[in-house]
Amino acid sequence: MTKAVIVALALALSGATLLLAACSSQNLVGSTAATLVQRYCDTPEVGRVVLREAIATSTAPNRIRVECAADAL
């Protein structure tokens, strides 16, 4: 094989690896977020107030907002 073909194969394989890693990372992040939000929404309102304060403190100056479907009813 020529050097150019080897380099092209290496780049193609590394690109495929990055693409697969990104997809699995998104799945992991999505499933983790879904689990955390479900646990948050399952917590009674009094507990959510405490959780909101803790989250606000730990993520400042950024913010995270979760709206539970049951609260809209």
Query: Is the pLDDT reported for residue 8 higher than 80?
Result: no
Please confirm whether the linkage preceding 44 is cis (ω < 30° from 0): no
The pLDDT assigned to 42 comes to 93
**Structure confidence at residue 68 as a pLDDT band (50, 70, 90):** very high
What's the CA gap between 51 and 40, in Å, rounded?
8
Which tokens belong to 36? Answer: 């955390």
Nearest CA-CA partner of 52 in 64, 42, 68: 64
The pLDDT assigned to 61 comes to 95
pLDDT (tens digit, 9 = 90+) per residue, 9-50?
Answer: 555 555 555 555 555 566 788 888 999 999 999 999 899 899
The pLDDT assigned to 16 comes to 53
Domain assignment of residue 62, given as a range: 3-72
Most distant CA pair in the chain: distance in Å?
A: 68
Domains identified in the chain, total number = 1
